[in-house]
């Protein structure tokens, strides 16, 4: 019977995934056997790669044991290919699995490894100024941010921002999202002056580009308001101040250097 490598049940039933206390993984010898016997290519595995990269593959209220099992599936698929394919579809799988390791397992070293491999693909295949390259920079920045390594996080956030500003423009929603990420980092460090300035830049863009109920706009509005309330320089009600500030194109937060 030919190998149907895109059929997950087919793989599990035939023992190509080995069960352990956390879930399933593909044994190294089985990986090599599959390579030799089927000569499976990236194209052969495309359906499986796309399946593992879907948002529905792992979701928030899924039982933890099932999450771990599915993360092991994704790990095994990534490990199947040596060297890492220079393919943007494969880089999406790397990003997804990195996020799983970061968010669900707290395995930051493995997450960083996958993010860096995805970044290398984007830099080589898409170029140093592509929005997907910026996404890789941003994700690495967020990983360092989660670990409290603010200097590294800020460096990667600024790399992403530089691409967004140059390629997408100063008024693009992705540029605004970069401003918001940097604002959150400064807020977490207690630098409310800088945080407020970046939140306001983000809000001003998203207020124009998105509908009033868009979650990104509401999220930045919340960040801006929380920071406003922590700064004694402002005394009037937030919404009153915000309405006036939006009418002033040259507004900068007092004391801001940007």
Question: CA-CA distance, 173 to 202, in Å (whole number)?
Answer: 8
Question: CA-CA distance, 230 to 197, in Å (whole number)?
Answer: 13
pLDDT given at position 255: 44
Report which of 206, 203, 211 is spatially closest to residue 241, judged by C-alpha positions: 203
- Band (pLDDT 50/70/90 cuts) for residue 130 is very high
Q: Do the Cβ atoms of 180 and 169 come closer than 8 Å?
A: no
Looking at the predicted structure, is the pLDDT value of residue 18 above 60? no
Q: Do the Cβ atoms of 38 and 3 come closer than 8 Å?
A: yes
Looking at the predicted structure, is the pLDDT value of residue 39 above 70? no
Q: Do the Cβ atoms of 181 and 205 come closer than 8 Å?
A: no
Question: CA-CA distance, 31 to 37, in Å (whole number)?
Answer: 10
Widest CA span in the chain? 75
Domain with 58 in it: 1-126
Looking at the predicted structure, is the pLDDT value of residue 225 above 90? yes
Could you tell me if residue 162 is inside a domain? no
Looking at the predicted structure, is the pLDDT value of residue 70 above 50? yes
Burial class (CB in 10 A: 0-12, 13-18, 19+), 151: exposed
Q: Do the Cβ atoms of 172 and 205 come closer than 8 Å?
A: yes
Number of structural domains (the chain) is 1
Could you tell me if residue 44 is inside a domain? yes
Between the alpha carbon of residue 50 and those of residues 38, 55, 242, the distances in Å are 20, 10, 44
Q: Please write the tens of the pLDDT for every residue from 184-215.
A: 999 999 999 999 999 999 999 999 999 999 99
Burial class (CB in 10 A: 0-12, 13-18, 19+), 22: middle
Report which of 231, 256, 228 is spatially closest to residue 243, judged by C-alpha positions: 228
Could you tell me if residue 173 is inside a domain? no
pLDDT given at position 82: 79
Could you tell me if residue 10 is inside a domain? yes
Rounded to the nearest integer, the mean pLDDT of the chain is 86
Could you tell me if residue 165 is inside a domain? no
Could you tell me if residue 168 is inside a domain? no
Could you tell me if residue 142 is inside a domain? no
């Amino acid at each position: 019977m030919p190998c149907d490598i895109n059929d997950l049940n087919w793989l599990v039933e035939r023992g190509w995934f080995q069960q352990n206390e956390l879930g399933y993984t593909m044994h190294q010898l089985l990986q090599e056997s599959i390579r030799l016997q089927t000569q499976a290519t990236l194209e052969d595995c495309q359906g499986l790669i796309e399946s593992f990269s879907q948002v529905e593959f792992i979701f928030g209220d899924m039982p933890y044991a099932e999450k771990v099992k599915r993360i092991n599936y994704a790990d095994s698929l990534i490990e199947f290919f040596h060297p890492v394919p220079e393919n943007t579809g494969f880089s999406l799988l790397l990003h997804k699995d990195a996020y799983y390791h970061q968010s669900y397992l707290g395995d930051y070293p493995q997450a960083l490894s996958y993010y860096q491999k995805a970044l290398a693909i984007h830099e080589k295949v898409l170029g140093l100024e592509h929005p997907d390259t910026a996404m890789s920079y941003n994700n690495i920045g967020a990983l360092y941010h989660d670990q409290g390594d603010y200097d590294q996080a800020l460096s990667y956030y600024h790399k992403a921002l530089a691409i967004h500003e140059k390629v997408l423009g100063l008024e693009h929603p992705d540029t605004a999202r970069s401003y918001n990420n940097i604002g959150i980092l400064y807020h977490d460090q207690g630098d409310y002056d800088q945080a407020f300035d970046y939140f306001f830049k983000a809000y001003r863009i998203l207020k124009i580009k998105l509908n009033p109920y868009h979650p990104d706009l509401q999220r930045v509005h919340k960040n801006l308001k929380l920071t406003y309330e922590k700064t004694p320089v402002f005394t009037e009600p937030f919404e009153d101040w915000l309405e006036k500030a939006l009418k002033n194109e040259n507004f900068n937060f007092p004391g801001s250097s940007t």
